[in-house]
């Protein structure tokens, strides 16, 4: 009998590849996707993708969507309180496992494991510790398509925003930039691939928006709006 699992899902490539691996293993029943959304602008946290696009993405994947709304200038206490409420509901639904798409950052992995363990959940990491270049190659070879919704301006210039990741994109990355953006260099939105019943339709905005990280007041990020149609 397959075990039910909730997938922590950003809408980006790493969590999508991790989800793909879970499904292909034949060992798991995917209960739902869990994502965080800003209360202020109804966009996914960090990636800046509209809630409506995430809903269309989940619909194409054929999976229910659990949403956690967070304030933009949130504290760790608020984050943990609201995530804890979501975890409590997951446990009430009879689920004991939750998946994350993290690859290399040990402190984040430790934090997630500690947080979910406090709510009697097990953290599963299908792509943990693997080579980023091999992972992005697997992602592209599997037929997934993803667009860059945001870049860290301290690591990449704004021209990378709005590009679809392909071999040309990877070759253009400066030395030292992780090919999966694991250090926060860029974030993505997956709009097509083998798990999708149909592509998620969108168009790119004509403008790129510059924002400052509200938590550090230092890091500059460039966002491009993905407009559903």
Domain boundaries, the chain: 3-124, 132-228
What does the pLDDT read at residue 121? 98
Report, as ranges of residue numbers, the positions in the chain whose pLDDT lies below 70: 213-219
What does the pLDDT read at residue 215? 60
Q: Is the pTM of this model over 0.85?
A: yes
Give the number of other CB atoms < 10 A from CB of residue 27: 10
Please give the order of strands across the beta sheet that includes 186-192. Answer: 186-192, 145-152, 220-228, 202-212
Domain 3-124, CATH among 3.40.50.620, 3.30.310.10, 3.40.109.10, 3.40.190.10: 3.40.50.620
Q: How far is CA 75 from CA 34, 78, 89, 197, in A?
A: 20, 5, 22, 38
Longest pairwise C-alpha distance within the chain: 50
Total number of residues shown for the chain: 229
Give the number of other CB atoms < 10 A from CB of residue 39: 11
């Amino acid at each position: 009998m397959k075990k039910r699992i909730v997938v922590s899902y950003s809408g980006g490539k790493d969590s999508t590849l991790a989800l793909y691996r879970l499904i292909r293993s034949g060992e798991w029943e995917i209960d739902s996707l869990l994502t965080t959304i800003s209360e202020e602008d109804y966009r996914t946290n960090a990636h800046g993708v509209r809630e409506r696009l995430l809903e269309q993405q989940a619909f194409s994947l054929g999976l229910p969507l659990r949403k956690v709304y967070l304030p933009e200038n949130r504290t760790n206490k608020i984050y943990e309180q609201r995530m804890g409420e979501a975890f409590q509901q997951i446990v009430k639904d009879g689920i004991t496992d939750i998946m994350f798409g993290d690859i290399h950052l040990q402190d984040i992995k430790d934090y997630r494991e500690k947080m979910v363990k406090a709510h009697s959940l097990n953290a599963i990491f299908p792509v943990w510790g693997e080579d980023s270049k091999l992972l992005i190659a697997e992602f592209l070879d599997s037929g997934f398509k993803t667009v860059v919704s945001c870049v860290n301006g301290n690591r990449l210039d704004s021209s990378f925003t709005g590009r679809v990741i392909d071999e040309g994109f990877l070759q253009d990355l400066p030395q030292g930039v992780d090919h999966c953006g694991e250090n926060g260099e860029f974030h993505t939105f997956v709009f097509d691939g083998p798990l999708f019943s149909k592509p998620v339709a969108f168009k790119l905005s004509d403008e790129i928006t510059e924002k400052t990280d509200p938590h550090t007041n230092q890091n500059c990020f460039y966002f491009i709006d993905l407009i559903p149609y």
